[in-house]
Amino acid sequence: MSRQGGKKKVNFGLPKLTIVETPPAEEAIAPPNLDSVARIRLKDGEEVTVEADELEAVRELGRGAYGVVEQMRHRPTGTNMAVKRITYTFDEAEKRGALMDLSVNMKARSPFTVHFYGAFFRDGDIWICMEVMDTSLDKFYRAAFEHRKGIPEPVLGRIAYNIVAALDYLKSTWNIMHRDVKPSNVLINKQGDVKLCDFGISGQMVDSVAGTNLGCKPYMPPERIQAEIGAKYDVRSDVWSFGITMVELSIGRFPYTATRNVFEQLKQVVQNDPPRLPEGQFSPQYEEFIALCLQKDRDNRPRYPALLETEFLKINKNNDISDFANTVICLMG
């Protein structure tokens, strides 16, 4: 405390404030070979030049941590596309993730993965243009159980074959593991086509915990939860996630007890017996197939070539599921 001019000057001990001016934001620099004009390859093989301004938004298809997906229509050709917009930030890790997403989509050419049309760079975002599918399997199976008492085994068999074929293609052709296999990352249309999507994030994701209003659903295998020292991710970890996905599609709900505590759910995966199909409701071939996928010891799980040779996939791989798919999707409105 000090005196000045006969008055007491009180020092409250407050720190000296320093005002720092925020520099103006830099304009994002486009990734190599991307701008607002692109050559788009249509599904029939025709290539057309498309400007971003020629795309008009139709509806939002979804959004998540990696961006927004909208259905857009290319006015000159009438082509509908699913356009995934990913913010191209200055964060190096996020930048690598965005470019990985783009790179994998550009490479993948399989009837079991979504078709890639092309890509733009617009307003600081990467626009990845893909084919439009009608819905994802998480929404599809809920509608099937609500209106049709579930999904018949022949339909489940064809869905399983397409997913395994997609995962095998990514691994054998491009040495890519998905790392996020779950119902919302598999799409289906009225024609009965079943295709894997969001495989572009495979290069950066380590584990999958899908957040929902009911808590977190762990699709990751026991070995990833336990984080064993030196444990490396391999395709058999995706096989576990695929097995959980198939049980969920088969019984109409996530196979572990719902809880808002994520650690309790993860503990169930590590400590409980692996999920199995209800006895007497499915064929022995399907029960055996699920048991193979959901071996808690990763070394006992088969890789994709072995799964493709199982009796269950062999007898179901050519099933025509278009009538069932069309019926359920139409009921969804």
Which residues are annotated binding-site positions for ATP?
A: 84
**Residue positions in the annotated binding site?**
84
Please state the three-class secondary structure of 2-62 as a single string: EEECCEEECCCCCCCCCCCCCCCCCCCCCCCCCCCEEEEECCCCCEEEEEHHHEEEEEEEE
Pick from 269, 266, 267, 256: nearest CA to 296:
269
> 153 Cβ partners below 8 Å, 6+ apart?
282, 283, 286, 316
Q: Is 180 a catalytic residue?
A: yes
- Neighbouring CB atoms inside 10 A of 67's CB total 19
Tokens of 66: 């990696």
List the end-to-end C-alpha distance of the chain, in Å, as a whole number.
Answer: 75
- Among residues 138, 180, 193, 238, which one is catalytic? 180
Pick from 233, 221, 232, 240: nearest CA to 307:
240
* Residues with a known catalytic role: 180
